[in-house]
Structure 1
Amino acid sequence: MMKKIYFIFIFSSIILILLSCSNALENKINLEGLNVVAPGIIRTPEERFVNLEDYPFQSNYMMIDGVRIHYLDEGPSDADPIILMHGLPTWSYLYRKMIPIFVDAGHRVIVPDMVGFGKSDKYIEKKSYSYLNHKELMKKLFINLDLNNITLMGQDWGGPIGLRVAVEIPEKFSRLIVSNGGLPSMPNPQAWIIKNFLDLNVWLNTPTSFQDLIALRNQVSEIDDEPSLIDGLRFFSRWIAHSYYAEDLDISGVMVLLGGLEKLSEGEKYAYEAPYPSSEYKMGANTFASFAMHELAENESYWKDVLDKWEKPLLVAFGENERTTYRLKQVFIDRIPNPTVVDDIKNAGHFIQEEAGEELAFLINDFIDGKL
């Protein structure tokens, strides 16, 4: 027993030392030329969003905990809301193809930009971002808007953040839609081991160039079967090593890396880059992936207390070419008491809203109407 305690102490100490060394690699930020709106907070100038391709929506804002959060609010205000949650490295622009279809069906549609993304304010320092802070800001937004009977769709990081909000205040949610995302969880001590294993591998693989990342992605993609957990952790540790420490993260390049979106128009590429006039505005995008193994044990508790007993409608709809989060699909099939599971959507990868947004929106309308 004493040997185990000694090993854990030594291992933890090594991890803390390595992480402190890694933190020292962060560059100091020069505030000159930045649109600083409060201590530690910057805001993308509005002119960056003028005449975006296919984004005719009215902006709405709410101040929460000192940051201005942007959200879309389309459709009749007295209708039950659909909340659409984006992930990395996107923003509400991602849902532009789906919003009109929901509105035409009579739904109210709420699409927030998380802090650090889109038209929402951005923290200057990476250390200001955390999984729990993202969750709390979204939770307060939903509560302050007095939303009830919510249908939630979360993709990519919209899953771990949106679903965590849903399990904390389940009385406000009527339906959940899981699409290329989920709520990662694991009991201790496995959660502790995996997180520290990943942290160690991130340190060992820092720095990782974008070219190295592409090469590793291609190796994993060539595997006929679903990549093993080790292959997945290998790629993910290098992805964190690159994204966290990249001096100027390539936003459209990340979308190609994660979702294969080589066919984005120049206008669409600009729209995804619009929130980031310089690298200093990208700290939210830099940090997102590093939260992947945070709160695993806490999320497992919410699985046991809420999701394992979930009796409300829940839709599972993944893209057939998804690799990033596909392992999470089976978790919902196995653990949710009575999920609605549809066939994987054809010709759709990680960013399913881009490649099959209209099809997915009509599918969700049918799900809400009880036709699936």
Structure 2
Amino acid sequence: MFLGALLNGVSQAQEVDHSAQVKYRTVEVDGLDIFYREAGPQDAPTILLLHGFPTSSHMFRNLIPKLADKYHVVAPDYPGFGNSSAPAVEAFEYTFDHLAEVVEKFTEKVGAKRYSLYVMDYGAPIGFRLAVKHPERVDALIVQNGNAYEEGIDNEFWKPIKTYWAERTPEHADALRDFLTLDATKWQFTHGVRDAEAISPDNWGHVQPLLDRPGNQEIQLALFYSYGSNPPLYPEWQKYLREHQPPTLIAWGKNDQIFPPAGAYPYKRDLKNVEFHLLDTGHFVLEEEGAQVAHLIREFLGKQGKR
């Protein structure tokens, strides 16, 4: 009996679906190695996860397995971030237009023809560029502290960055280098959370060595400047929301000082089918509310007929 039970257990183990296991892959886009995490059945509805600053697809490491049983989940690292290529600023134009172009080509390379779009922080200006250019590819939006309104950047945090937009001088650039320090990185992950002991130091242990690579500060300063190209596009993004009405889930950390709730509420002006949640945490919502966000996504996409 024991042997029979053992063999039966082995047989059952062999029948386990391994499609939900996260794969760590790289694809070539315009001569760059673009690293990405991928999991879930290839024929399932796709969720494209677009990360923020200063992290990478690493921010989705816990969310992906919570979705991959029902969804095909794909999370790339942008050039200059995570495990993707990081050419020097002299060799690559670090603008949000260019990052969006790379991500668009990435989606085509990996066969993501339609997707629900999860945007956070830097992922929002990249994702909205994709959505405006190819609205037919976007099944739904999931917005987590991702800004598309002037109200979202009308706060103290953005004042030195706006000064840099107005006058791109070495002095104004140097004033922003404090944003690239270990203390600033820790602050982004821990400010506004309910329980700092719930936030893994693996976050800044992953991010800070990448920020500290030779030349990476110049990459980030170039993108700080390029962020100034986004507010002039807000009216176009808002028009996209009004005209195409993508079903949208807002899951926003309400204690975020970078993108406070002032940037979340305006989505209600332009969207008819919107689920709105302010969560009691900070900028990187998934660190403290990952299970809740996964639950919200599954319920929300289920209502849209996406499994």
TM-score range (shorter-chain normalised) is 0.7 to 0.9
Partner in structure 2 of residue 15 of structure 1: none
> Per the alignment, do residues 227 and 65 of structure 1 end up closer, same or farther by CA in structure 2, a change over 3 Å counting?
closer
Partner in structure 2 of residue 340 of structure 1: 274
Partner in structure 2 of residue 369 of structure 1: 302
Distance 1:276 1:249 in 2: 7
1:281 to 2:216 alignment:
yes
How far did residue 290 of structure 1 move? 2.0
1:256 to 187, 193, 196: 187
Partner in structure 2 of residue 316 of structure 1: 250
Partner in structure 1 of residue 159 of structure 2: 234
How far did residue 258 of structure 1 move? 6.9
How far did residue 299 of structure 1 move? 4.2
> Per the alignment, do residues 230 and 295 of structure 1 end up closer, same or farther by CA in structure 2, a change over 3 Å counting?
closer
Deviations 1:240-282 (A, max 9, x none): 8467863993256334147517544443332223435623234
If the length of structure 2 is used for normalisation, what is the TM-score?
0.78
Partner in structure 2 of residue 155 of structure 1: 120
Distance 2:122 2:139 in 1: 21
Partner in structure 2 of residue 78 of structure 1: 43
The amino acid across from 1:256 in the alignment is W
How far did residue 112 of structure 1 move? 0.5
Give the unaligned 5+ runs of structure 2: 1-20, 166-171
Deviations 1:305-357 (A, max 9, x none): x2211233111221121222233212211112x132333112x1111121211
Partner in structure 2 of residue 69 of structure 1: 34
1:90 to 55, 61, 66: 55
The amino acid across from 1:116 in the alignment is G
Q: Is the 8 A contact 1:163 1:182 kept in 2?
A: no
Q: Is the 8 A contact 2:22 2:65 kept in 1?
A: no
Q: Is the 8 A contact 2:56 2:77 kept in 1?
A: yes
> Per the alignment, do residues 228 and 271 of structure 1 end up closer, same or farther by CA in structure 2, a change over 3 Å counting?
closer
Identity level (%): 24
1:140 to 2:73 alignment:
no
Q: Is the 8 A contact 1:316 1:339 kept in 2?
A: no
1:296 to 2:192 alignment:
no
Partner in structure 2 of residue 355 of structure 1: 288
Partner in structure 2 of residue 117 of structure 1: 81
Aligned length: 273
> Per the alignment, do residues 294 and 92 of structure 1 end up closer, same or farther by CA in structure 2, a change over 3 Å counting?
same
CA RMSD of aligned residues (A): 3.0
Q: Is the 8 A contact 1:116 1:282 kept in 2?
A: no
Distance 1:113 1:243 in 2: 26
How far did residue 75 of structure 1 move? 1.1
Partner in structure 1 of residue 71 of structure 2: 107
Give the unaligned 5+ runs of structure 1: 1-55, 186-225
Deviations 1:97-116 (A, max 9, x none): 21111013x11110010110
Q: For 1:90, what is the secondary structure of its paired residue?
A: coil
Q: For 2:82, what is the secondary structure of its paired residue?
A: coil
The amino acid across from 1:72 in the alignment is R
> Per the alignment, do residues 166 and 93 of structure 1 end up closer, same or farther by CA in structure 2, a change over 3 Å counting?
same
Deviations 1:101-151 (A, max 9, x none): 1013x1111001011000000121267211110110011111222213311
Q: Is the 8 A contact 1:90 1:118 kept in 2?
A: yes
Q: Is the 8 A contact 1:85 1:162 kept in 2?
A: yes
Q: For 2:35, what is the secondary structure of its paired residue?
A: strand
If the length of structure 1 is used for normalisation, what is the TM-score?
0.65
Q: Is the 8 A contact 1:180 1:318 kept in 2?
A: yes
How far did residue 61 of structure 1 move? 1.4
The amino acid across from 1:109 in the alignment is V
Deviations 1:50-82 (A, max 9, x none): xxxxxx943211211221111111111111111
Deviations 1:157-194 (A, max 9, x none): 11111121112101111001111012347xxxxxxxxx
1:165 to 2:130 alignment:
yes
> Per the alignment, do residues 228 and 177 of structure 1 end up closer, same or farther by CA in structure 2, a change over 3 Å counting?
closer
> Per the alignment, do residues 280 and 135 of structure 1 end up closer, same or farther by CA in structure 2, a change over 3 Å counting?
same
Partner in structure 2 of residue 269 of structure 1: 204
Distance 2:109 2:217 in 1: 27
Distance 1:248 1:342 in 2: 30
Q: For 1:342, what is the secondary structure of its paired residue?
A: strand
